[in-house]
């Protein structure tokens, strides 16, 4: 039978009273004073050592990142390091000159300080600041309770604080265990997932779409296994969880249809390889290249640096122009006109040579130029050329070809006509004045 929380708390209080009374003994009080003296020495020594160590550390420009981070940890934990480095020599000296029992409290304090230092250093390997703080604090609490032999009482108190949900008993201790175990398993799953994803991306035998699909499948498998294994280890009944998850799944299916549709569409895109990372696409007014294939959306980066997150469903149900689906070759057309007095044969030759002189225009797929019509004031042409790097932009290459045409036409005396109109003002005051003057002259001549 589990003791009542009140009994456990009273027993723990009695132990605290006994421990406080033991501190009144002479040698126990001496050990506490010695520990306080060592702490004061560590604080004073840090004020002298820390600035010099900081200046020395700033001068280490060539150090790798991991070594520099370790140096920063040493600087931040300088007081604790000096305390540990001082208290243990004091303990060893006292054990040689006096009874070992007279260093018991100092040994407990030294073990606690050393354990805190080790936990603080190891916690620096955790990248997330919040998780690092939680792990460090939890480690300090657990080590302190273990060294003070209070783990059994603490576990009993936490386990006695429980609620009953049907046949399942849920206690605070079970929740803490679940958080710790699930956190460790998720950390291991994330570590394996990141390293496996890096290896998959380095494999050139796997297409980009299959790489993304394999990485997503591996992530779902690892994190799902970590979740269910963690619950099973804690002791949660997975049968009831399966029924609950089924009910939740039905509700999510009705309430989150768009989300599920985007998830399924993402899997379809990865399987049929219609769109893959690096492809250049046009969707409506959005033109750019695929930066990342996500579970719910596709990241498209445009030439002006904007990143559009397009839902996967839009790529499945809408019309998408994939400029680099089977290959990266793209044909571009530009239109222009010349005057009727210019030789069309010369115009075509000059236009082809001008387009071929542009750097990004392909030479093994030479440009072509054709007459497409006789306009009101010009002979109309179309110039077609090929490129193989659409990610470099389309507007800029068109502009470069137009500029090359302009320079070539000016060099060969080819003119680009433009409409000209003659506008007459019917009630121009000057015309009316001239007419009045002519009328006066006519009247004068008739009078003479």
Burial of 437 (0-12, 13-18, 19+ CB in 10 A): exposed
328-348 residue pLDDT tens: 788 899 999 999 999 999 999
Give the helix/strand (H/E) hosting 52: helix 26-58
Q: Does residue 382 have a pLDDT over 90?
A: yes
CA–CA dist 350, 352 (Å, integer): 6
For residues 342 and 291, the answer to whether their CB atoms sit within 8 Å is no
CA–CA dist 327, 364 (Å, integer): 15
For residues 332 and 387, the answer to whether their CB atoms sit within 8 Å is yes
| Confidence label for 255 from pLDDT (cuts 50, 70 and 90) | low
pTM of this prediction? Answer: 0.47
Q: Kindly state the tokens that stand for 218.
A: 């591996």
99-109 residue pLDDT tens: 777 777 788 88
Q: Kindly state the tokens that stand for 446.
A: 């008739």
pLDDT for 337 equals 92
DSSP 145-172: HHHTT-HHHHHHHHHHSEEEETTEEEEH
For residues 87 and 116, the answer to whether their CB atoms sit within 8 Å is no
Q: Does residue 274 have a pLDDT over 70?
A: yes
pLDDT for 207 equals 65
Q: Does residue 10 have a pLDDT over 60?
A: no
pLDDT for 205 equals 67
48-85 residue pLDDT tens: 888 888 888 888 777 777 778 778 888 888 888 888 88
């Amino acid at each position: 039978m589990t003791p009542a929380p009140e009994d456990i708390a009273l027993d723990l209080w009695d132990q605290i009273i006994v421990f406080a009374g033991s501190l009144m003994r002479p040698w126990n009080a001496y050990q506490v004073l010695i520990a306080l003296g060592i702490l004061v020495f560590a604080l004073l020594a840090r004020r002298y050592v820390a600035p010099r160590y900081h200046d020395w550390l700033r001068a280490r420009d060539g150090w790798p990142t991991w070594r520099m981070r370790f140096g920063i940890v040493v600087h931040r934990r300088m007081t604790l390091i000096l305390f540990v480095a001082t208290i243990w020599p004091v303990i060893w000296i006292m054990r040689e000159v006096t009874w070992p029992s007279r260093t018991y409290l100092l040994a407990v304090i030294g073990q606690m300080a050393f354990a805190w230092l080790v936990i603080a250093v190891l916690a620096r390997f955790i990248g997330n600041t919040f998780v690092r703080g939680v792990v460090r604090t939890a480690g300090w609490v657990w080590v302190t309770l273990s060294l003070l032999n209070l783990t059994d009482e603490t576990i009993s108190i936490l386990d006695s604080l429980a609620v009953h949900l049907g046949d399942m008993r849920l206690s605070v201790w079970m929740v803490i265990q679940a958080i710790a175990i699930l956190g460790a398993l998720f950390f291991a799953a994330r570590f394996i997932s990141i390293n496996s994803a890096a290896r998959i991306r380095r494999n050139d035998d796997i297409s980009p779409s299959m790489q993304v699909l394999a990485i997503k499948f591996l992530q779902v498998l690892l994190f799902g296994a970590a979740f269910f294994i963690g619950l099973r280890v804690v002791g949660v009944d997975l049968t009831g969880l399966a029924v609950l998850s089924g009910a939740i799944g039905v509700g999510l299916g009705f309430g989150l249809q768009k989300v599920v549709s985007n998830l399924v569409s993402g899997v379809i895109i990865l399987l049929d390889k219609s769109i893959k990372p690096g492809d250049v696409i046009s969707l409506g007014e959005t033109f750019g290249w695929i930066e990342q294939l996500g579970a719910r959306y596709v990241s498209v980066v445009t030439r002006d640096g904007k990143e559009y997150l397009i839902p996967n469903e839009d790529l499945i149900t809408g019309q998408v122009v994939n400029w680099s689906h089977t290959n990266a070759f793209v044909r571009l057309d530009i239109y222009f006109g010349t005057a009727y007095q210019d030789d069309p044969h010369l115009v075509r030759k000059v236009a082809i040579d001008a387009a071929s002189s542009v750097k990004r225009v392909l030479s093994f797929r030479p440009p072509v130029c054709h007459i497409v019509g006789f306009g009101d004031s010009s002979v109309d042409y179309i110039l077609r050329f090929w490129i193989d790097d659409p990610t470099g932009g389309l507007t800029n290459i068109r502009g470069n070809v137009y500029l090359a045409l302009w320079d070539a036409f000016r060099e060969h005396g080819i003119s680009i006509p433009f409409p000209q109109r003659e506008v007459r003002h019917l009630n121009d005051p000057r015309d009316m004045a001239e007419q009045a003057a002519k009328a006066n002259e006519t009247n004068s001549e008739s009078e003479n």
